[in-house]
Amino acid sequence: MQLSSATHMLAAARAEAERLGVVVCVSIVDAAGYPVVFLRMDGVALGCIDVCHKKARTAALFHMDSAAFGQVACPGGGAYSLEQTNGGMTSFGGGLVIRDEGGVVIGGIGVSGARTEDDIAIGRVAVAALS
Amino acid sequence: MQLSSATHMLAAARAEAERLGVVVCVSIVDAAGYPVVFLRMDGVALGCIDVCHKKARTAALFHMDSAAFGQVACPGGGAYSLEQTNGGMTSFGGGLVIRDEGGVVIGGIGVSGARTEDDIAIGRVAVAALS
Amino acid sequence: MQLSSATHMLAAARAEAERLGVVVCVSIVDAAGYPVVFLRMDGVALGCIDVCHKKARTAALFHMDSAAFGQVACPGGGAYSLEQTNGGMTSFGGGLVIRDEGGVVIGGIGVSGARTEDDIAIGRVAVAALS
Amino acid sequence: MQLSSATHMLAAARAEAERLGVVVCVSIVDAAGYPVVFLRMDGVALGCIDVCHKKARTAALFHMDSAAFGQVACPGGGAYSLEQTNGGMTSFGGGLVIRDEGGVVIGGIGVSGARTEDDIAIGRVAVAALS
């Protein structure tokens, strides 16, 4: 994940949040789960910072959006306890996989602070901005 | 969160616990989740100390009472795994948001040691004492 | 450690800090290192919260003031690495042992936020107030 | 710490790093040590990410640049073991306090990845850009 790509996606996420009239924090990590860029909009509940990091890491480390991850990594879901690995993963939406044009995972983005549907929508806009 | 406000709320919580004939520990944190005041009444089970801190932090960091937080941060609740962020949050009652007269979150209070209903009632009396 | 004793010492510590014109946070723990009371004066650097807890715990868990503990628990001091046990102990002044009239350790007090000499002085006044 | 201020400082830090021909990561946190913005330039050693966060937190939580903090928080420095509080603080340069025009601490910036002198120089340029 190049800084230029991450910066471009981050700007797209922020613009979409402003368009929706919500405040969020956004973390973009590389394929190994290490942060590349992060920002927190004014007024976001502070607990969301850790959440957006964990969403991004979940997507990067398991090659799955966090919403899909949450379908299996939950009580009764077939991989219960998976969410407790790797320092804590996220079992609901807002973390999205980032792939290059060849389909290779190059990172993850996590959005937190708004309703889960909005967090996901913001992440989708950011990922789409890469191509 | 000023110390004078926190001290006033703490005294109100303690008085209410004594009126109810229960023993509790009470933590009041600022908007960033840092402790301002704490007390433990004689005879409280020691495990409740960490619980009351986490309740207070949950309310402050997510701008939600811990009872409401627990409605979503639980298996099947829509945000399962959220309770495992930020060093561990609390998914049951006894943590309450503290707001100033303008509605801005200035901290959280956590009460633990009695039945959950009593913990909540004590927290409410403390929060009401601020205004 | 009774809450009434801890509250009395805490008030003495706060009064002494005000007399000296400094701001501090103060933690009082029982003989097992569990918090009994805590307060943070307005304006204390937030990093001092963890420091005062660790000072109080150091005194309670090793039956030594943290200044004396620091003489041995340091590089070249004869017990180097001891400061890294128990979740992190404190190797400088401001943590004091609290004993009952029979000399039995009943807890510890930690003061942080001012110069180390003042932190120690405030702790001494608090301990003296118990008798 | 407003996002607009943090974004402005972050851009200044990045520009200075490019001018010096070095790569770094930069974290800016609020007065409570919570991240506001972060970026990692391409090619920075991954271990530096945690370092820059800890530098920024050290400055914010103790109201001291990390270089000054390291003068006391070290073996023989008078506050040895202080560096092991608050989840790990940093005892060398590259973390700088951010104050508003009235001198109040509003956050901290941490720079890591280049030589310590360059990390510090980059941080200074960023802080100067705020005024």
Q: Answer for the pair A9, A127: CB distance below 8 angstroms, yes or no.
A: yes
Longest dimension (CA), chain C: 41
Rounded to whole angstroms, the Cα distance separating C50 from A4 reads: 39
Rounded to whole angstroms, the Cα distance separating A13 from A24 reads: 9
Rounded to whole angstroms, the Cα distance separating C22 from A6 reads: 46
Quote the pLDDT of residue A131.
82
Amino acid (one-letter) located at C95: G
Pick B80's closest partner by Cβ from A46, A51, A70.
A70
Amino acid (one-letter) located at D30: D
Mean pLDDT, rounded, for C42-63 = 98
Quote the pLDDT of residue C85.
97
Strands C105-112 and A35-40: unpaired
Q: Return mean pLDDT, chain C.
A: 97
B14: distance to nearest CA of chain C, Å?
A: 11
Q: ipTM of this predicted complex?
A: 0.96
Asked if the model's pLDDT at residue B131 lies above 90, the reply is no
Chain B residue with the nearest C-alpha to that of D32: B32
> Tokens standing for C129?
């107030």
Cβ contact, residue pair D34, B34, below 8 Å? no
Quote the pLDDT of residue D106.
98
Rounded to whole angstroms, the Cα distance separating D24 from D118 reads: 10
Q: Answer for the pair A94, A110: CB distance below 8 angstroms, yes or no.
A: yes
Rounded to whole angstroms, the Cα distance separating A22 from A9 reads: 17
Rounded to whole angstroms, the Cα distance separating B52 from B57 reads: 9
Mean pLDDT, rounded, for B118-128 = 98
Chain D residue with the nearest C-alpha to that of B86: D34
What residues make up the domain containing D31?
Answer: 3-130
Cβ contact, residue pair B31, A45, below 8 Å? no
Rounded to whole angstroms, the Cα distance separating C55 from A14 reads: 43
Q: Per-residue pLDDT tens for B100-115?
A: 999 999 999 999 999 9
Q: Identify the CA nearest to B102 among candidates B131, B73, B61.
A: B131
Cβ contact, residue pair A40, D36, below 8 Å? yes
- Tell how far CA A23 is from the center of its chain: 15
Pick C116's closest partner by Cβ from D60, D61, D78.
D78
Q: Do chains A and D touch (3 or more CB pairs under 8 A)?
A: yes
- Which runs of E-coded beta strand occur in chain A? 25-30, 35-40, 95-99, 105-112
Q: Which chains would you list as touching C if contact means 3+ CB atom pairs under 8 Å? A: B, D
Asked if the model's pLDDT at residue B42 lies above 90, the reply is yes
Sheet containing D35-40: order of strands: A95-99, A105-112, A25-30, A35-40, D35-40, D25-30, D105-112, D95-99
Asked if the model's pLDDT at residue C110 lies above 90, the reply is yes
Q: Per-residue pLDDT tens for D109-129?
A: 999 999 999 999 999 999 999
Quote the pLDDT of residue A125.
98
Q: Answer for the pair B97, B119: CB distance below 8 angstroms, yes or no.
A: no
> Tokens standing for C20?
């000296």
Alpha carbon of C104 to those of B53, C100, C123: distances in Å?
29, 5, 18
Q: Per-residue pLDDT tens for D68-103?
A: 999 999 999 999 999 999 999 999 999 999 999 999
Q: Which chains would you list as touching A if contact means 3+ CB atom pairs under 8 Å? A: B, D
Q: Return mean pLDDT, chain B.
A: 97
Cβ contact, residue pair B38, C38, below 8 Å? yes
**Contacts with C98 (C-beta within 8 Å, 6 or more apart), sequence order:** C1, C9, C28, C59, C60, C105, C106, C107, C108, C109, C127, C130
Pick D41's closest partner by Cβ from A3, A35, A41.
A3
Q: Cα torsion at D119, D121, D126, D131 (round to 10°)?
A: 150
Q: What is the DSSP string of chain D?
A: --HHHHHHHHHHHHHHHHHHT---EEEEEETTS-EEEEEE-TT--TTHHHHHHHHHHHHHHHTS-HHHHHHHSSTTSSSTTGGGSTT----SSSEEEEE-TTS-EEEEEEEESS-HHHHHHHHHHHHHHH-
Q: Answer for the pair C94, C27: CB distance below 8 angstroms, yes or no.
A: no
Pick C39's closest partner by Cβ from B34, B37, B46.
B37
Q: Identify the CA nearest to B61 among candidates B85, B27, B80, B77.
A: B85
Q: What CATH code is carried by the domain that includes residue B50? A: 3.30.450.150
Q: Per-residue pLDDT tens for B48-77?
A: 999 999 999 999 999 999 999 999 999 999
Quote the pLDDT of residue A68.
98
Quote the pLDDT of residue D131.
82
- Count of domains in chain A? 1
A71: distance to nearest CA of chain B, Å?
A: 10
Terminal CA-CA length for chain A: 13
Asked if the model's pLDDT at residue B94 lies above 90, the reply is yes
Pick B40's closest partner by Cβ from C35, C39, C46.
C35
Alpha carbon of C96 to those of C51, C75, D89: distances in Å?
13, 22, 24
Asked if the model's pLDDT at residue C131 lies above 90, the reply is no
> Tokens standing for B19?
């009126």
Q: Per-residue pLDDT tens for C82-105?
A: 999 999 999 999 999 999 999 999
Rounded to whole angstroms, the Cα distance separating A38 from A8 reads: 12
3-state SS assignment for residue A90: coil
Mean pLDDT, rounded, for B12-29 = 98
Q: Per-residue pLDDT tens for D4-58?
A: 999 999 999 999 999 999 999 999 999 999 999 999 999 999 999 999 999 999 9
Cβ contact, residue pair D80, C70, below 8 Å? yes
Cβ contact, residue pair C73, D81, below 8 Å? yes
Q: What is the pLDDT along chain A (131 residues), one digit of tens a residue?
A: 999 999 999 999 999 999 999 999 999 999 999 999 999 999 999 999 999 999 999 999 999 999 999 999 999 999 999 999 999 999 999 999 999 999 999 999 999 999 999 999 999 999 999 98
Q: Per-residue pLDDT tens for D59-75?
A: 999 999 999 999 999 99
Q: Which H/E stretch holds residue C108? A: strand C105-112
Cβ contact, residue pair A88, B86, below 8 Å? no
Alpha carbon of D82 to those of A8, A63, B129, C1, C47: distances in Å?
40, 40, 37, 27, 9
Interface test with D, best of A5, A40, A51 (most D CBs within 10 A): A40
Rounded to whole angstroms, the Cα distance separating D13 from C126 reads: 47
Rounded to whole angstroms, the Cα distance separating A82 from A88 reads: 9
Residue B115: count other Cβ atoms within 10 Å of its Cβ: 12
Q: Identify the CA nearest to B60 among candidates B36, B30, B102.
A: B30
